[in-house]
């Protein structure tokens, strides 16, 4: 791999992607036709607050894309919103597809490579009402949407992923040992079914993990085919939620967890063009499952342990089990202390450098997130952004961490003393 050290700096391979990521529901605002919008408004709800107008990225994407490019990045990862594109089953909105075409054009005009996620957690509400990812017909619906969207947008896409973190339900089953409020979640879906006049309501993270995995893996393979049969020619992969899984004590179930949560999807990624690794923290796994953070360790706003080494460990785990190129499609930290974000990025990239030096084919680093945004059930409190967003005026303010990473991106190198 053509990478080297000179004058105390490490040079990343040429063509390395440097970017930041967002997801439609978390930044666009007014995603009223989505299943999550329904869940945000039922009572009781696990959502700390509704997504509302979010960052109004739907209208302000030109400014956000320009900012990202000016800071020195070369890639923007964002998702297109199925709930907007297919508001009713089989009825596609050309004006919404045109909206995403304009976003893609804006990326190219600013010299950014667009990486498009076809599905980032949110679905049309009708999809949840039909049983979501628990039904094989869900896979058919997703494939039909991918085909239509790729036909409209494919000539402008540089890289695509079918799913963002489809292994999350399987991962949550393990975190579930930490007493997530599943009873409230079940009540929410019952109320959502009633509110939408559907007999059921199965949003992505709440479906039966085993069944969801089976259906989504099948959907992924079919979606890759239809996306690739459309215009353009670009790699298509899948992004996985990964943690640095550490065995604690005798009889740890760590290996069982990895076999359940990661390995089936790594095998699926292996038949695609690339794998997206997304890592934030570690998990300590004992004999009855996840143990939670170790007392005394620094926690982020999400309650995760501050663990930038997660990136190196997860990339190594993935590379040992798949042979396709790896892109880091998410890595980041929720904090109000931007100096901690800089430290986190520096340490994570140092780990990534070691992976590259060991010959692992990593082709890009995309930070989560471009903007402080709607962090799902936690609302707007956790701040993952490289750029802050004033909640009243929506004004953007670039944080020092955005410049720190942007400078690395511009040079395609990092100082080893950084």
Contacts with ligand BGC by CB under 6 A lie at 23, 26, 164-165, 241, 278, 330, 368, 375, 384
Q: What is the DSSP string of 301-342?
A: TTS-B--TTHHHHHHHHHHHH--S-EEEEEE----S-HHHHH
Q: What's the DSSP call for residue 49? A: S
SS3 391: coil
SS3 118: strand
* Paired tokens of 253: 């179930």
SS3 235: coil
Residues assigned a catalytic role: 165
Are 174 and 257 a contacting pair, CB within 8 Å? yes
Q: What's the DSSP call for residue 370? A: S
Q: What's the DSSP call for residue 13? A: P
**Whole-angstrom Cα distance, residue 237 to residue 391?**
34
* Paired tokens of 324: 């396709």
**Whole-angstrom Cα distance, residue 411 to residue 172?**
38
**Whole-angstrom Cα distance, residue 36 to residue 119?**
13
CB neighbours of 355 closer than 8 A, spacing ≥ 6? 312, 315, 316, 319, 362
Are 170 and 213 a contacting pair, CB within 8 Å? yes
* Closest to ligand BGC by CB, 231 or 303: 303
CB atoms within 10 A of CB 66: 14
CB neighbours of 295 closer than 8 A, spacing ≥ 6? none
**Whole-angstrom Cα distance, residue 219 to residue 136?**
9
**Whole-angstrom Cα distance, residue 20 to residue 204?**
24
Buried-state track 246-283, b at ≥16 Cβ within 10 A, e below 16? ebeeeebbbeebbebbbebbbebbeebbbbbbbbbbbb
* Closest to ligand BGC by CB, 278 or 412: 278
Distances (CA, A) of 230 to 129, 160, 227, 233, 308: 29, 13, 6, 8, 38
Residue given tokens 């005026």 in the structure block? 393
Are 207 and 244 a contacting pair, CB within 8 Å? no
């Amino acid at each position: 791999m053509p990478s080297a050290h000179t004058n105390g700096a490490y040079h990343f391979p040429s063509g390395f992607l440097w970017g930041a990521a967002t997801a439609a529901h978390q930044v666009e605002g007014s995603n009223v036709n989505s299943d999550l919008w329904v869940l945000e408004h039922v009572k009781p709800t696990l959502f700390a607050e509704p997504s509302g107008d979010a960052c109004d990225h739907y209208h302000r994407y030109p400014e956000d894309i320009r900012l990202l490019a000016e800071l020195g990045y070369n890639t923007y990862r964002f998702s297109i919103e199925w709930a907007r594109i297919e508001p009713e089953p089989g009825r596609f909105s050309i004006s919404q597809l045109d909206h995403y075409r304009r976003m893609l054009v804006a990326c190219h005009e600013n010299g950014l490579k667009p990486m498009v996620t076809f599905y980032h957690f949110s679905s049309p509400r009708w999809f949840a009402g039909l049983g979501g990812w628990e039904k094989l017909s869900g896979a058919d619906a997703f494939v039909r949407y991918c085909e239509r969207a790729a036909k409209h947008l494919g000539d402008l896409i540089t890289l695509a992923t079918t799913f963002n973190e489809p292994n999350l339900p399987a991962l949550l089953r393990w975190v579930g040992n930490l007493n997530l409020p599943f009873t409230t979640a079940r009540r929410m879906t019952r109320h959502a079914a009633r509110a939408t006049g559907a007999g059921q309501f199965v949003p992505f993270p709440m479906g039966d993990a085993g069944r969801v995995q089976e259906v989504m893996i099948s959907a992924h393979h079919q979606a890759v085919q239809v996306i690739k049969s459309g215009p353009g020619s670009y790699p298509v992969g899948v992004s996985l939620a990964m943690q640095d899984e550490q065995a604690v004590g005798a009889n740890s179930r760590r290996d069982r967890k990895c076999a359940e949560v990661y390995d089936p999807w790594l095998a699926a990624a292996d038949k695609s063009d690339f794998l997206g690794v997304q890592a934030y923290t570690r998990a300590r796994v004992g004999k009855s499952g996840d143990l939670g953070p170790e007392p005394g360790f620094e926690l982020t706003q999400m309650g995760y342990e501050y663990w930038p080494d997660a990136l190196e460990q997860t990339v190594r785990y993935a590379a040992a089990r798949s042979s396709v190129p790896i892109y880091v499609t998410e890595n980041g930290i929720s904090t109000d202390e931007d100096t901690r974000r800089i430290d986190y990025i520096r340490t994570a990239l140092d780990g990534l450098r070691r992976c590259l030096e060991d010959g692992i084919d990593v082709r890009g680093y995309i930070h989560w997130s471009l903007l402080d945004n709607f962090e799902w059930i936690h609302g707007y409190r956790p701040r993952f952004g490289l750029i802050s967003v004033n909640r009243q005026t929506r004004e953007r303010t670039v944080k020092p961490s955005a410049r720190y990473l942007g400078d690395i991106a511009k040079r395609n190198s990092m100082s080893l003393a950084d």
